[in-house]
Structure 1
Amino acid sequence: MTTRIGIAGITGRMGRLLVEEVQAAGAILSGGCARSATPGGAPIFPDITALAAASDVVIDFTNAATAQATAAAMAASGKPWVLGSSGLSAADEAAVEAAARAIPVIYASNFSAGVNLVLALARQMGAALPADAYDAEIVEMHHRQKVDAPSGTAIGMGRAVAAGRGVRLEEVMESGRDGHTGPRRTGAIGFAALRGGQVVGEHTLIFASGTEHIALTHRAFDRRSFATGAVRAAQWSIGKPARLYSMMDVLGMG
């Protein structure tokens, strides 16, 4: 059976790419939620509940401010939810985890296959390079319109390194250093966020010791890679049991 895919935020920059990728994948575009009608004439639903009812799975790249309400609506719908919104708070993520007890939720900081391979390597490097000898720093740059920092992908990198080292990122994260900060904490994972122009996304993970530096970099030149991965995740989600999944699971690396 052909999958019916709904898109929350269908008229946005990612939404328009998702429309194209849904069609390219041979799936059915069931419609979307948006503030105005779409140029292509896709059905517009008044809210996420109505969209989910008309779809087999919903892809959501909207604002983090809607995450908790959407989580409750999707859990009630019984339909899979592919979530790519960034900037979620701890309370937002708790709502996502609660929804995953009722439905399959694929939540990823980045749906690009390349980024997820980088995340896998980041975890391995975190495990192999001891925190007392190798300082981990993450530098990211995005377009000037991006409203959250550090980026979701940068946070994902930090979590991968922390997991490799057997700690929680929240315990070791240092972001936005300014002024007289004192010496760097041993074991800290540092973040620097750059904003400017129309950069789609650049992320570099650096491990620095007294004798060597190792850098792992991913550069995105087109948002389409995110849309392609999200549609792949949506099709993969059909028939899966309720659980919180990542793009690693979709790629068979979970």
Structure 2
Amino acid sequence: MSMAPDSKPGAHHRVAIAGVSGRMGQMLVEAVRDSGDCRLAGALDQASSPAIGNDASAFLGHASGVAVTADPRAGLAQAQVLIDFTRPEGTLAHLRACRELGVNLVIGTTGFSDAQKDQIRDAARDIAIVMAPNMSVGVNVTLKLLEMAAQALDTGYDIEIIEAHHRHKVDAPSGTALKMGEVIAQALGRDLKQCAVYAREGVTGERDPSTIGFSTIRGGDIVGDHTVLFAGTGERIEITHKSASRATYAQGSLRAVRFLAGRRSGLFDMFDVLGLR
């Protein structure tokens, strides 16, 4: 039987959540509340959010006793770990506060530049960080399958990655699609920067067999669909993952929180969390 975290005695992970009034933030608040071993300890949002000052669980019709704040230091004061699915600039501001306060970090944000990723790597010398472009357990198992497929299908197969997301997503291709490309390129001994093709229009010439193609679809309320197509002569293999709910990302995030417990430093990803190395 799982009691509500705020009434449960004993040890639990004290979790702060960034972007708490967004779609993902609310899903995380609910997941923390429903977990048996995590407790909401902080709630961050942009200063312009109408949620500032309100109870972070108000939308669930119950009080967590945690007020939403725009001040990272206040929001992190009681927390052991922050879960952040916001935008790169916001995540980096939170990263600086986490590093100062010794708070670990689970990063689900996508769209970082290489220089921004370097800042995260640098901070991981002082705090423990799990960073993954997709926190879903199923997606990470899919990445493992892609690694195996790419190693076996390394010649004679054209590789295309097709992804679809809701109309509100601001970056393309998705972080997950790029991660799929990276995993495949690595398995083939290629560099994704050299072999990725992101746009085709007009007379493109024949397809270069060493490339990895990306196609992006945006529309409606699609949570996230990803298909990798290995197209050979006389056959094709499709490996597909479809998300029907953001709850999978929230559950994966809590697994990352548990993995970080007791760790002081280091940069990890979901392969580490799930033992898929």
Q: TM-score range by the shorter chain?
A: over 0.9
Q: Distance in 2 between matches of 1:83 and 1:43?
A: 22
- Report the alpha carbon displacement of residue 179 of structure 1 after superposing the two structures with TM: 2.5
Higher mean C-alpha deviation, range 233-242 or range 136-145? 233-242
| 5+ long unaligned stretches in structure 1 | none
Q: How does 1:116-155 map to 2 (within 5 A)?
A: 116-130=140-154, 132-155=155-178
SS of 1:68's equivalent in the other structure is helix
CA contact (8 A) 1:143 1:198 kept: yes
Q: Distance in 1 between matches of 2:94 and 2:170?
A: 20
Structure 1, residues 157-183: CA drift from partner, whole Å, max 9, x if none?
Answer: 111101111222212111122233222
Q: Does 1:32 align with 2:55?
A: no
Query: Partner of 1:203: helix, strand, or coil?
Result: strand
Give the root-mean-square deviation of aligned CA atoms. 1.5
The aligned amino acid for 1:68 is: L
Q: Select which of 228, 238, 242 maps to 1:215.
A: 238
TM-score, normalization by structure 1: 0.94
Where 2:169 maps in the other structure, the secondary structure is coil
* 2:273 maps to 1:250: yes
Larger radius of gyration between Structure 1 and Structure 2: 2
Corresponding position: 1:191 with 2:202: no
Q: Secondary structure at the match of 1:197?
A: coil
Give the letter aligned to residue 62 of structure 1: T
Counterparts of 1:15-164 in structure 2, within 5 Å, are 15-26=25-36, 27-34=38-45, 35=49, 36=51, 37=54, 38=56, 40=58, 41=63, 42-130=66-154, 132-164=155-187
Taking the aligned partners of 2:92 and 2:15, their CA distance within structure 1 comes to 21
- For residues 215 and 47 of structure 1, do their structure 2 counterparts lie closer, same or farther at Cα, with a shift above 3 Å needed? same
**Following TM superposition, by how much is the alpha carbon of 1:62 offset from its aligned partner in structure 2, in angstroms?**
0.6
Paired residues, number: 253
Change (3 A) 1:39 1:79: closer
Give CA-to-partner distance per residue, 1:175-221, whole Å, 9 cap, x none.
12223322222211110000111111110001112232110001111
1:183 and 1:49 map into 2 onto residues whose CA distance is 55
* Cα contact 1:8–1:48 (8 A) shared by 2: no
The residue that corresponds to 1:236 in the other structure is: 259
Give distance in 2, aligned partners of 1:101 and 1:72: 13
Tell me if the contact between 1:126 and 1:163 (Cα under 8 Å) persists in the aligned partners.
Answer: no
- Structure 1 counterpart of 2:3: none
* Partner residue of 2:229 out of 199, 206, 221: 206
Q: Secondary structure at the match of 1:202?
A: strand
CA contact (8 A) 1:31 1:43 kept: yes
Q: Which has the higher contact order (CA 8 A, sep 6+)?
A: 1
- How far did 1:39 drift? 5.4
- With structure 2 as the length reference, what TM-score do the two structures score? 0.86
Query: Which sits farther off after the overlay, 46-55 or 11-20?
Result: 46-55
Q: Could you tell me how far apart the structure 1 residues matched to 2:197 and 2:211 are?
A: 6
Q: Secondary structure at the match of 2:68?
A: coil
Equivalent residue number for residue 191 of structure 2: 168
Shifted more, 146-155 versus 67-76: the winner is 67-76
- Provide the rounded CA distance (Å) in 2 between the counterparts of 1:179 and 1:70: 44
Read off the aligned partner of 2:76 and give its amino acid letter. Answer: A
Question: Partners in 2 of 1:53 and 1:172 — Cα distance?
Answer: 45
User: Structure 2 CA distance, aligned partners of 1:49 and 1:58?
Assistant: 12
Question: In the aligned structure 1, how far is the partner of 2:203 from the partner of 2:102?
Answer: 51
Contact 1:74 1:99 in 2 (8 A): no
Deviation sequence 1:63-93 (CA, Å, 0-9, x none): 1232333333322222210000111121221
Deviates further, 74-83 or 149-158: 74-83
Q: Is the 8 A contact 2:42 2:76 kept in 1?
A: no
Report if the CA contact (8 A) 2:29-2:57 is conserved.
no
Cα offset, 1:250, TM superposition: 1.1
Q: Distance in 1 between matches of 2:233 and 2:264?
A: 47
SS of aligned partner of 1:167: coil
Q: CA deviation at 1:114?
A: 0.7
